[in-house]
């Protein structure tokens, strides 16, 4: 199987290509989508999990447009777990308390060259790490096509503007027939 989807598909005489999206960015894989007058073709190549092992996988799904019963695309926001946010809060408060102690002279830390600057830089890094652990939110753009007898094809994409516009266009093609 070649990396270009156009070299892997055969188009009949009464079928023509509506639109192709050659550079969709998936989460850990490469994705191409082609919409023809009769089918939706999705080609993926990249890392996948199978039996708790990471494997490289190539796949091509061809879905007849007449068999599609439901399409949806949505953004999912995933927050860190409560434990990770609690650790971030501890880093944040701890670094602020230690910085105040250093500033007021309440802590006796041995001196070394540039010790004042390095101590504050390390505490600043701990502060930024705490803020990151507390407020980081992962965004995933999902695209799901249900066809036939509940055969589900699902893509996890990065939430870029190109990916969102491509999915809007693809979803609009299913309901224009």
Buried b (16+ CB within 10 A) or exposed e, 165-175: ebbeebeebbe
Residue 65 per-residue DSSP state: G
pLDDT exceeds 70 at position 8 = no
pLDDT class of 120 with cuts at 50, 70, 90: very high
Q: Exposure string (b/e) for 144-159, b if CB count within 10 Å is 16 or more?
A: ebbbeeeeebebebeb
For residue 147, pLDDT over 80 is answered with yes
- pLDDT reported for residue 7: 64
Q: Per DSSP, which regions of the chain are E strands?
A: 17-25, 29-36, 39-50, 53-64, 68-79, 137-147, 151-157
| 58-107 residue pLDDT tens | 878 888 888 888 888 889 999 999 999 999 999 999 999 999 999 898 88
At residue 88, the pLDDT reads 95
**Alpha carbon distance 27, 15 (integer Å):** 31
As given in the structure block, the two tokens for residue 89 are 């809060």
Question: Comparing C-alpha atoms, which of 157, 22, 136, 11 is closest to residue 79?
Answer: 136
d(CA 107, CA 118): 15
pLDDT in tens, 9-54: 777 778 788 888 888 888 888 888 888 888 888 888 887 767 778 7
């Amino acid at each position: 199987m070649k990396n270009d989807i156009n070299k892997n598909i055969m188009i009949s005489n009464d079928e023509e290509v509506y639109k192709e999206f050659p550079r969709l960015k998936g989460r850990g894989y490469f994705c191409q989508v082609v919409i023809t007058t009769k089918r939706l073709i999705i080609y993926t190549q990249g890392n996948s999990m199978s039996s708790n092992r990471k494997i490289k996988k190539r796949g091509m799904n061809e879905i007849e447009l007449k068999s599609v019963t439901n399409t949806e695309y949505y953004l999912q926001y995933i927050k860190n777990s409560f434990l990770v946010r609690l650790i971030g809060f501890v880093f944040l408060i701890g670094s602020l308390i230690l910085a105040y102690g250093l500033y007021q002279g309440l802590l006796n830390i041995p001196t070394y060259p540039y010790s004042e600057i390095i101590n504050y830089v390390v505490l600043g890094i701990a502060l930024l790490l705490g803020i990151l652990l507390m407020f980081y939110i992962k965004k995933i753009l999902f695209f799901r096509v249900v066809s036939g007898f509940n055969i589900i094809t699902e893509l996890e994409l990065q939430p870029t503007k190109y990916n969102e516009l491509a999915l809007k266009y693809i979803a609009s093609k299913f309901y224009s027939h």
